[in-house]
Structure 1
Amino acid sequence: MTAVVPAGFVRAHTAVRRPSSVPEVRLHVADDVVALWEAMEGSAGGAGDAPPFWAAAWPGGQALARFVLDSPEVVAGRSVLDLGAGSGLVAIAAARAGAARVLASDVDPFSRTAVAVNAGLNGVGGVSVLGDVLGHPLPPVDVVLAGDVCYDRVMTERVLPFLDRARDAGCAVYIGDPGRPYLPHERLVEAAVHEIAETEGPGVRRTTVWRLP
């Protein structure tokens, strides 16, 4: 049985902040990741085994959100999938940029609740939340946005075939990535570059939005 995380948990254990590169959007994020993870481990029937990736605005997601807000024609009037949605930042940006329909997919039940909570916080409708889509039939979408999904080799090996399948089905595919080594850059076309403040610690990280041609 899939665990359902109460919206009150997300609100109680996070603070509302504006991502540095996407100040138009507000998100519930963790000021104390360790305390949040400990709270997760004791809630929702053991659903909190995974780190709280959903409680931060990661560089790849910020770059993608900035990209669609600055270039709304990429998503306007189209059906969009936010793959590995995390906080829902990219899904919310796509909805604000005029997407006709937005699907936000994440395997983490905490993420799925956070997406709904954050969409409500921003007064955004039309965002539907779903679980893992990798290894399943491609949802009926026109655009796939994937931020920070190639964070390790195993995940990259799962994600890339799905993105290839989406591209072959006629979808526009964009990937936000802060320079991780697992992404096959030689296969991609640069669409935008942003300097994003580090999620953990000082400094900025050069983050690229890539298009899968």
Structure 2
Amino acid sequence: MSTDFVRANTRLAPVPFLPELVLHQADEPIELWERTEEAGGEQPPPFWAFAWAGGQALARHLLDDPGLVSGRAVLDLATGSGLVAVAAARAGARPVTANDIDPLSLAAAEANAEANRVRVRTVEGDLLSTGYAEADVILAGDVFYSREMTGRVLPFLRKAAGRGALVLVGDPGRAYLPTDGMIRRATYDVPVIEALESVPVRRTSVWQVLTSA
């Protein structure tokens, strides 16, 4: 499956909280999940087809303060749709790398970068295991959704901060968000898909990760 599958199963539309950007988005999560499984066997949930709250807040923060990333090498960890990577590229980051373990996510990131006329390169694989030391800025939206994921991603982010990278995460108050050792930089009321979040708006913060709690 590729960008053709992404385009065929989504519609290109402005992002609710970032009207200057467009994104290939699905209207119905369950139906798309079923089509994804039918097309390629067992697949991860189609996180790539939606503008999640943490990603929207983080992308908004970069577009409002492009000096955070302009001219700097950026890694968007667990990129999903590629929204944050696209925003970083629009804010002047060079180069921008979008990473995910899901090939469809990277296909979506490529399609969304093309739709917004920016350049984003993709890296498939689990960087939490292999490490990644090529970025000046590490970005991560909505990564603290489980205890297991938090236990793996937090050491990676703190290690990056320890070597001098700027590490920013966007999170709408997920249960496993570890705020110790983080500085809240901004808070937004982000419109979200009620079928996914059970509410129409999520209060979402952008945090800077420090080297330790």
Q: Calculate the TM-score normalised by the size of structure 1.
A: 0.93
Q: Is the 8 A contact 2:51 2:192 kept in 1?
A: no
Q: Distance in 2 between matches of 1:89 and 1:100?
A: 16
SS at match of 1:184: coil
Question: May I ask how many residue pairs the two structures share in their alignment?
Answer: 206
User: CA offsets per residue over residues 85-119 of structure 1, 9 Å max, x none?
Assistant: 00000000000000011010111111010000111
Residue 101 (structure 2) aligns with: 107
SS at match of 1:24: strand
Deviation at 1:33, TM superposition (A): 1.6
Residue 153 (structure 2) aligns with: 159
Q: Is the 8 A contact 1:59 1:199 kept in 2?
A: no
Sequence identity (%): 50
Say which of 184, 187, 211 aligns to 1:190: 184
Residue 165 (structure 2) aligns with: 171
Say which of 196, 200, 205 aligns to 1:203: 200
User: CA offsets per residue over residues 128-153 of structure 1, 9 Å max, x none?
Assistant: 11122111132411000100000111
Question: Is there any run of 5+ residues in structure 2 with no aligned partner, and where?
Answer: none
Question: Is there any run of 5+ residues in structure 1 with no aligned partner, and where?
Answer: none
The range that moved more, 199-208 or 132-141, is: 199-208
SS at match of 2:21: coil
**1:65 counterpart = 2:62:** no
Residue 30 (structure 1) aligns with: 26
Say which of 38, 44, 51 aligns to 2:45: 51
Q: Is the 8 A contact 1:134 1:159 kept in 2?
A: yes
Please list every run of at least 4 consecutive aligned residues from structure 1 whose deviation after the TM superposition is greater than 4 angstroms.
Answer: none
Q: Distance in 2 between matches of 1:135 and 1:185?
A: 23
CA RMSD of aligned residues (A): 1.2
The one-letter code sitting in structure 2 at the alignment partner of 1:35 is E
Say which of 68, 73, 89 aligns to 2:83: 89
Q: Mapping of 1:98-137 within 5 angstroms?
A: 98-125=92-119, 127-131=120-124, 132-137=126-131
Q: Is the 8 A contact 1:176 1:210 kept in 2?
A: yes
Q: Calculate the TM-score normalised by the size of structure 2.
A: 0.93
